[in-house]
Amino acid sequence: MAAATPQVERAAKGAKNSAALAFLRAPKQLLINGKWQPAKSGKTFETINPANEEVLALIAEGDKADVDEAVKAARKAFEEGAWPKMSPHQRARLMFKIADTIDQHADELAELETLDNGKPLTFSRNFDIPAVAETFRYYAGWVTKIYGETNPSDPSFFNYTLREPVGVCGQIIPWNFPLLMAAWKLGPALACGNTCILKPAEQTPLTALRLGELLMEAGLPPGVVNIITGFGPGAGSAIAEHPDIDKVAFTGSTEVGKIILKASAGNLKKVSLELGGKAPNIIFPDADLDQAVPTAMMGVYFNSGQVCCAGTRIFVQRDRYDEIVEKLANFSKNVKVGDPFEQGNLLGPVVSREQFDRVKGYLSIGAEEGAKAAAGGAPVEGKGYFIQPTLFADVNNNMKIAREEIFGPVGAAIAFKDENDVVFQGNDTTYGLSAGIWTKDVGRAHKMARALKAGTVWINCFNQIDPIAPFGGYKQSGFGRELGKYAIDLYTQVKSVWMKLS
Ligand code: NAI
Ligand code: MG
């Protein structure tokens, strides 16, 4: 099917930034070895504005042939290029410059993110893009602080370790925080001296492509970052299977995480996986409800619920259940959904038709399972993939809506009896990415933090994320920890050097 020429003015309604609009009009190609080129197949695909269902741009559809070429470029840049061998000071300076460049283009990047993903501009401008710059800046700081060790060997020997880059890294990212996920992957990989092939999600390729241009302008050597847009089964699987990629980092569904792990076995790539979640957020009756209620509900609705660590199972103690659920529902009814460019809207659309249909499916499942929609419960009529913020009450932890990741603005309020019961129910899930606890009892808070099987536990807060702190999952939420010093482990390997002294 021949793709229609995008009508940028119509598709990008609400966008004001002239650089963003100019970028939308320019061709979108693949970045390989520092040059932009079309896919070898000549194919393109459409990227859609989920707020109005219009085509924003045509994107090159990279596949195996393009990935092969990108891997050659990345391999050459790694084995022969300046990047891994550069003085750490110089590499750090370049990464600081990248962070500054992102700040300078923040308005433009924020508008592109909002157009492609649908998230309110307030969030892309005040959360996503600043966090992208901070992530590069944080890892720029690490470049000069990646230490080996001197080990207590027998005195007739000298033993020390070197931390070396892993090599060529394939990085496959999702569409919920498109540019931030690119930064979580590229930041630490580049800091450690690796070279990369980044595959953005097919729903949201725009900001990664613009970042590619900014990286080149900042002076990153050719081949250090290559960007291949395309689909999972074409470009993504070619990365996961590639015999000359040393490491693959993936954020996305648990289903695809398992496929990637299997594919990586061919050459035993190192793998890190950041997958789904179904986080418990536990409100004890002694909590400060004025804080707990809005924060817990925004822990479900933020980014239209398309957050792997969203606190979608809200646990409320049985003897106060009706009263607290009423407060949660009242807050939910006042959360504004609509045009992501309009101030005051806390929710935009979900990212795609596919996601819209999936979430709608869960709204029906919830009703069929006997849960009661205490707020919302339906999509918003009209153009765009908007869904009402929904809180299901009378949910039990065995219902599908309490077990499966919905990835939409849909929460489930579940009753619990006491601490033991809520630890059991909270941990009764295949996932383990995050958990929340609301209480003023300090002892209980720390006891619960130990008991919950999750990679991140938030006490009297939620969705607190910062490059200083590790992030990743227990159980089927994946393995490996991104961010903090832990990402340095993901992107280096340790060499032990022995020398005989006498
Ligand atoms: P997905 O896991 O299919 O997509 C994520 C990335 O993986 C995209 O770049 C995609 O192109 C790529 N991919 C897909 N199939 C692949 C394959 N066979 N080999 C290599 N790469 C592949 O996620 P999707 O289908 O967009 O969303 C489905 C569900 O996944 C959501 O409803 C949500 O529950 C979950 N999800 C979780 C995310 C997280 O942050 N943990 C992010 C996105 C989705
Ligand atoms: Mg998929």
Say if CB 129 and CB 110 are below 8 A apart. Answer: yes
Candidates 274, 309, 405, 482; catalytic one: 274
Q: How many CB atoms lie within 10 A of CB 149?
A: 12
How far is residue 429's CA from residue 423's CA, in Å, rounded to a whole number? 11
Task: Kindly report, residue by residue over 378-420, the tens digit of the pLDDT.
Answer: 999 999 999 999 999 999 999 999 999 999 999 999 999 999 9
Whether 407 is in the pocket of ligand 1, judged by its Cβ within 6 Å, is yes
Candidates 308, 309, 405, 482; catalytic one: 308
How far is residue 391's CA from residue 217's CA, in Å, rounded to a whole number? 46
Residue 52: strand, helix, or coil: coil
Task: Kindly report, residue by residue over 443-466, the tens digit of the pLDDT.
Answer: 999 999 999 999 999 999 999 999
Please list the helix, strand and coil fractions of the chain in percent, rounded to the nearest 5, in that order.
Answer: 40, 20, 35
Q: Which domains does the chain have, with CATH numbers?
A: 62-275+480-494 (3.40.605.10), 280-466 (3.40.309.10)
Q: Is the pLDDT of residue 139 over 70?
A: yes
**pTM score above 0.95:** yes
Task: Kindly report, residue by residue over 170-220, the tens digit of the pLDDT.
Answer: 999 999 999 999 999 999 999 999 999 999 999 999 999 999 999 999 999
Say if CB 347 and CB 408 are below 8 A apart. Answer: no
Whether 358 is in the pocket of ligand 1, judged by its Cβ within 6 Å, is yes
Whether 335 is in the pocket of ligand 1, judged by its Cβ within 6 Å, is no
The DSSP code for 32 is E
User: 281 vs 176, 200, 261, 316, 416, CA distance in Å?
Assistant: 21, 30, 30, 9, 12
Whether 381 sits among the annotated catalytic residues: the reply is: no
Phi, psi of 398 (to 5 degrees): -95, -10
225 Cβ neighbours under 8 A, 6+ residues apart: 31, 186, 190, 195, 196, 198, 212, 215
Phi, psi of 2 (to 5 degrees): -70, 135
Residue nearest to atom 43 of ligand 1 (CA): 252
Q: How many CB atoms lie within 10 A of CB 68?
A: 14
Query: Can you tell me which residue has the tokens 């990629």?
Result: 245
Q: Is the pLDDT of residue 4 over 90?
A: no
Query: What does the pLDDT read at residue 5?
Result: 76
